[in-house]
């Protein structure tokens, strides 16, 4: 059937689709089944067939003369070449950001069609990620660079796809919803608008190479900003492929710049380009430096030493044990929401909880990546930290504390069995111990302690002294206990109830820290509006001027 015939059919009142929509859907279907956006095959990346990662600036994919070789975290083989921009090559990126005005690529008064454009892009991209061939491609690509179990990697793809579905259709323009308030006299009204920053930067870590950058990048774009995106080079291949998918779904090539570089070069780019807002997800040390360098024009989702309290009411020991294991050791503990410290009421000590935690940790194997390489902490550093903890009076190793067996993980990464160290609650609060005990180890490592009924205040004191307030869990169905703990803590994402956990950042609720005005959220309309837009008030005052009005005396 010709396009002319299709148009004739679709003009009938029975069918609402236009011929162009139909032809577009055919192309989209072919794209799905051919993975036309992809320039790599996840399964085939190896030392003999290394993949390449490129940069995107001013609408063009470019390379530099510098290539950073990424080693396979499972065997040390050089398997990805990343084209990295050095300080001499940042000029096009600076120019690209500088060309974006402060009022953004779109706003409620300028190019509102782009709100609709990004609703359509999100719908198509969300559908793409729901197609088994595409979701499998990204899950396996994630596994290659940030080894985690297939289910964990697929879960990341699922959440990303659902987020995109959430902001399809009219949902992007609803993010820019305004309000009006009557004024003091006829013709006066004040209107509040969500306004973009214009040129912005997005800097994201290695542990969620698809979910974090996509959710923050799309939030920036929805609100009308022009972002430059930097992802940790170890995993940036995932986002490079996702950008190609977004382009195929209709995203203009010059809407996003994508740079691979070291930290020093990115810092120079930020200082020269002067983005109006920078989103940083990563370590607290780097976050504080950026906050200083950028004069506070920054939002942070930094480190999290995340805690869980098991209340005095004991229920469903098997289930709670399983959640504790997942929270502490899924993704080898490389989640900013991973359970770092478990406060266990003495009633739980009388159950099989600790035995079950030991057995569940022992099930984790390198073969299925339920435990695997730790990409930011070496084996030696983790074991040295454990030895220091074991010097605290009353402390003991509950399980783990050994290097993984029969592995080929390169020495620049970590490889230890899931580990738990018990430290008495009284010792944790001592000045000479507290900083050591609450040091975040971004790996399969947790502290476990015990408290009695009359020691809840000690637990709350320990929480009050913490610096990072990302996630927390209060495992109890006692409403008064929950009320006491939640009312005296501050973590931005807090789960309460029998099924409470610390990990899990689905697209349906806010995920982010609290207690810090620089804190950034992710995932929800509230998070997007907070991070990627500011408030602008426009006061209309058109009159009329009252009849017989006269110039009053000076005041």
Bridging pattern class, strands 55-57 and 60-62: antiparallel
Quick one: pLDDT at residue 284? 86
Q: Does residue 276 carry a pLDDT above 80?
A: yes
pLDDT in tens, 213-228: 999 999 999 999 999 9
Alpha carbons 275 and 15: distance in angstroms, whole number: 47
Alpha carbons 542 and 189: distance in angstroms, whole number: 9
Q: Does residue 368 carry a pLDDT above 60?
A: yes
Longest CA pairwise span in the chain (Å): 93
* DSSP letters for 486-540: HHT---SEEEESTT--S----TTS-B---S-TTB--BSSHHHHHHHH-EEEEEEE
**What confidence tier does 7 reach under pLDDT thresholds 50, 70, 90?**
very low
Q: Does residue 16 carry a pLDDT above 60?
A: no
Domain with CATH 3.40.309.10 in the chain: 307-496
**What confidence tier does 275 reach under pLDDT thresholds 50, 70, 90?**
very high
Using DSSP's 3-state secondary structure scheme, residue 102 falls into coil
263-273 helix and 91-98 helix, angle to the nearest 10 degrees = 40
As its CATH architecture, domain 51-302+525-534 has: 3-Layer(aba) Sandwich (3.40)
Alpha carbons 409 and 386: distance in angstroms, whole number: 20
Length of the chain equals: 555
The 3 state secondary structure assigned to 143-211 is HHHCCCCHHHHHHHHHHHHHHHHHCCCCHHHHCCCCEEEECCCCCEEEEEEEECCCEEEEEECCCCCCH
Residue 231 host element (H or E): strand 226-231
Quick one: pLDDT at residue 506? 86
| Cβ neighbours of residue 431 closer than 8 Å, sequence gap 6 or more | none
Using DSSP's 3-state secondary structure scheme, residue 101 falls into coil
pLDDT in tens, 165-195: 999 999 999 999 999 999 999 999 999 999 9
Q: Does residue 6 carry a pLDDT above 60?
A: no
Q: Running DSSP on this structure, what letter comes out for residue 553?
A: P
Quick one: pLDDT at residue 310? 98
Bridging pattern class, strands 396-399 and 199-204: unpaired
- Residue 284: other Cβ atoms inside 10 A: 15
**What confidence tier does 503 reach under pLDDT thresholds 50, 70, 90?**
very high
Contact 165, 115 (CB under 8 A): no
**CATH no., domain 307-496:** 3.40.309.10
Alpha carbons 462 and 308: distance in angstroms, whole number: 12
Catalytic residues: 301, 336
What's the mean pLDDT in 356-362?
98
Quick one: pLDDT at residue 302? 78
pLDDT in tens, 437-476: 999 999 999 999 999 999 999 999 999 999 889 999 999 9
Among the listed residues 354, 350, 336, 333, the one whose alpha carbon sits nearest the alpha carbon of residue 397: 354
Domain with CATH 3.40.605.10 in the chain: 51-302+525-534
β-partners of residue 347 are none
User: Cα separations (Å) of 172 from 528, 530, 548?
Assistant: 10, 15, 48
Position with higher pLDDT, 34 vs 188: 188
Quick one: pLDDT at residue 11? 42
**What confidence tier does 365 reach under pLDDT thresholds 50, 70, 90?**
very high
Among the listed residues 201, 191, 333, 198, the one whose alpha carbon sits nearest the alpha carbon of residue 259: 201
Quick one: pLDDT at residue 19? 41
**What confidence tier does 159 reach under pLDDT thresholds 50, 70, 90?**
very high
| Cβ neighbours of residue 213 closer than 8 Å, sequence gap 6 or more | 202, 204, 229, 231, 239, 242
Q: Average per-residue pLDDT in the chain?
A: 93
Contact 37, 31 (CB under 8 A): yes
β-partners of residue 422 are 396, 448
| Vertex 270 angle, CA 268 and 271, to 5° | 65
Alpha carbons 493 and 308: distance in angstroms, whole number: 12
Query: Structure pTM?
Result: 0.92
Q: Does residue 15 carry a pLDDT above 50?
A: no
């Amino acid at each position: 059937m010709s396009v002319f015939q299709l148009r004739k059919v679709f003009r009938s009142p029975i069918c609402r689709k236009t011929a162009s929509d139909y032809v577009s859907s055919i192309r989209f279907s072919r794209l799905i089944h051919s993975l036309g956006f992809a320039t790599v095959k996840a399964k085939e990346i190896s030392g003999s067939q290394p993949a390449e990662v490129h940069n995107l600036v001013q609408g063009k994919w470019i390379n530099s003369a510098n290539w950073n070789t990424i080693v396979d975290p499972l065997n040390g083989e050089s398997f990805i070449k990343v084209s990295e921009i050095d300080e001499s090559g940042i000029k096009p990126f600076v120019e690209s950001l500088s060309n974006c005005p402060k009022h953004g690529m779109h706003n409620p008064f300028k190019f509102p069609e782009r709100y609709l454009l990004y609703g359509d892009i999100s719908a198509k991209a969300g559908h793409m990620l729901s197609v088994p061939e595409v979701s499998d491609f990204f899950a396996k690509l994630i596994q290659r660079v940030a080894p985690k179990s297939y289910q964990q990697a697929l879960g990341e793809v699922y959440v990303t796809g659902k987020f995109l579905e959430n902001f399809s259709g009219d949902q992007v323009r609803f993010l820019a919803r305004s309000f009006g308030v009557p004024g003091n006299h006829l013709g006066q009204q004040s209107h509040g608008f969500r306004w973009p920053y214009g040129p912005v930067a997005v800097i994201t870590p290695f542990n969620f190479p698809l979910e974090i950058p996509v959710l923050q990048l799309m939030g920036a774009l929805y609100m009308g900003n022009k972002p430059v995106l930097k992802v940790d080079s170890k995993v940036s291949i995932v986002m490079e492929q996702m950008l190609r998918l977004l382009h195929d779904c209709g995203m203009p090539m010059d809407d996003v710049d994508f740079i691979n570089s070291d930290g020093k070069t990115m810092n120079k780019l930020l200082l020269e380009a002067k983005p109006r807002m920078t989103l940083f997800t990563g370590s607290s040390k780097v976050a504080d430096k950026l906050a200083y360098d950028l004069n506070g024009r920054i939002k942070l989702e930094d480190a999290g030493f995340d805690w869980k309290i098991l209340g005095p009411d004991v229920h469903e020991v098997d289930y709670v044990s399983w959640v504790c294991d997942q929270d502490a050791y899924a993704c080898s503990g490389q989640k900013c929401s991973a359970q770092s410290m478990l406060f266990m009421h003495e009633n739980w000590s009388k159950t099989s909880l600790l035995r079950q935690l030991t057995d569940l940790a022992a099930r984790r194997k390198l073969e299925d990546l339920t435990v695997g390489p730790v990409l930011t902490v070496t084996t030696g550093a983790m074991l040295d930290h454990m030895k220091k903890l074991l010097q605290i009076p009353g402390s003991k190793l509950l399980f783990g504390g050994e290097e993984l067996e029969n592995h080929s993980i390169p020495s620049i990464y970590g490889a230890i069995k899931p580990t738990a160290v018990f430290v008495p609650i009284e010792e944790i609060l001592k000045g000479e111990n507290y900083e050591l005990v609450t040091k975040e180890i971004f790996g399969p490592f947790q502290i476990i302690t015990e408290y009695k009924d009359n020691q809840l205040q000690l637990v709350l004191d320990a929480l009050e002294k913490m610096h990072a307030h990302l996630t927390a869990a209060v495992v109890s169905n006692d409403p008064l206990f929950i009320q006491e703990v939640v009312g005296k803590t501050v973590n931005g994402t807090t789960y309460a109830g029998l099924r409470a956990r610390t990990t899990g950042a689905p697209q349906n609720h806010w995920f982010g820290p609290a207690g810090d005005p620089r804190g950034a959220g992710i995932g929800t309309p509230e998070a997007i509006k907070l991070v990627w837009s500011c408030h602008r008030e426009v006061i209309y005052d058109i009159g009329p001027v009252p009849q017989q009005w006269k110039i009053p005396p000076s005041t």
